[in-house]
Amino acid sequence: MENRFDKAALNYDATFTNSEIGKMQRNLVYNQLSKQLDSIQNVLEINCGTGEDAIWFAKQNYKITATDISPKMIEVAKSKANLNFKTADINSISSIFEGEKFDLIFSNFGGLNCLSKSELEKFFANSNSILSEKGKLALVIMPKHTLWEQFYFLAKAQFSSIFRRKKEFVLADVDGEKVPTYYYNPKDIVNLAKHYFELVDQKPIGFFVPPSYLELFFKNKKGLLGFLNSFENRIKNWSFLSKYADHYIIILQKR
């Protein structure tokens, strides 16, 4: 996978990790993830960005190896914590970690949306080879039918973009870099992974809590944002909302 994320590394924590929306969405991920960590000891994180999730795993006393294709992201991550951070391409994890076994492979906030269908199928095959028996995948992915985005483009009268996620891919702007981005509903992931994994669970992340690109809009509307977050927590276990949220978390277990 081509590295297009070095430019984003410097400002990523400011624009997402430490934003109010970013913190709300991350807490939703942790709430769902925590339910899946029984019998988990050794964790591999891919697309780790600036290391926020790796730090969380370490604080929960899990053995964590965290990787990202961007050397700049890894550089920032290493400046935050003395953990096992590595620069690595997601497409090479089976060779990089040959002979090792992980209990969980984790990818947060759309890292896997950079992979095409054929690349995702390869990822599932590679993951299968380095997961322990009954090992799990916990993946946070952007779906095709995010209602927030559709209402956003409707409000801006950008009608041609309302259903853009139904295209094969979209060129997303990441700090000036055009990144091919592929969107997958939960059933797409289940189908692509079916030879190696079975579905355990899926939950919405950001059905009421808005996308991070609306942080500026909500900056002076913290009461409204808190109200939306309270509604989010009421419906956070409604699996059928997954394909309409900003992201969703899907848990797969090795067959």
What are 11-39's pLDDT values in tens digits? 898 899 999 999 999 999 999 999 999 99
Q: pLDDT band at residue 93, thresholds of 50, 70 and 90? A: very high
Q: What is the pLDDT of residue 3?
A: 61
Strand-pair category, 247-254 with 197-205: antiparallel
* Least-confidence region, from 8-17, 71-80, 132-141, 222-231: 8-17
Instruction: Name the residue ranges covered by the structural domains of the chain.
Output: 6-144+184-254
Please determine, for residue 246, whether its predicted confidence score (pLDDT) is greater than 80.
Answer: yes
| Higher pLDDT, residue 179 or 233 | 233
CA distance 203 to 168: 24
> Mapping DSSP to helix (H, G, I), strand (E, B) and coil, where does residue 88 land?
coil
Percent of the chain exceeding pLDDT 70 equals 98
Please determine, for residue 77, whether its predicted confidence score (pLDDT) is greater than 90.
Answer: yes
Spell out the residues 6+ positions from residue 48 whose beta carbon is closer than 8 angstroms to its own. Answer: 54, 66, 67, 68, 73, 74, 77, 85
Q: Which residues in 119-135 are b (16+ Cβ under 10 Å) and which e?
A: ebbebbebbbebbbeeb
Q: What is the pLDDT of residue 2?
A: 54
Segment 225-233 shows an average pLDDT of 98
What are 123-148's pLDDT values in tens digits? 999 999 999 999 999 999 999 999 99
For domain 6-144+184-254, the CATH superfamily is Vaccinia Virus protein VP39 (3.40.50.150)
| C-alpha dist (Å) from residue 233 to 39, 162, 207 | 26, 27, 10
Q: What is the pLDDT of residue 254?
A: 98
- What average pLDDT does the structure give for the chain? 95
Please determine, for residue 1, whether its predicted confidence score (pLDDT) is greater than 70.
Answer: no
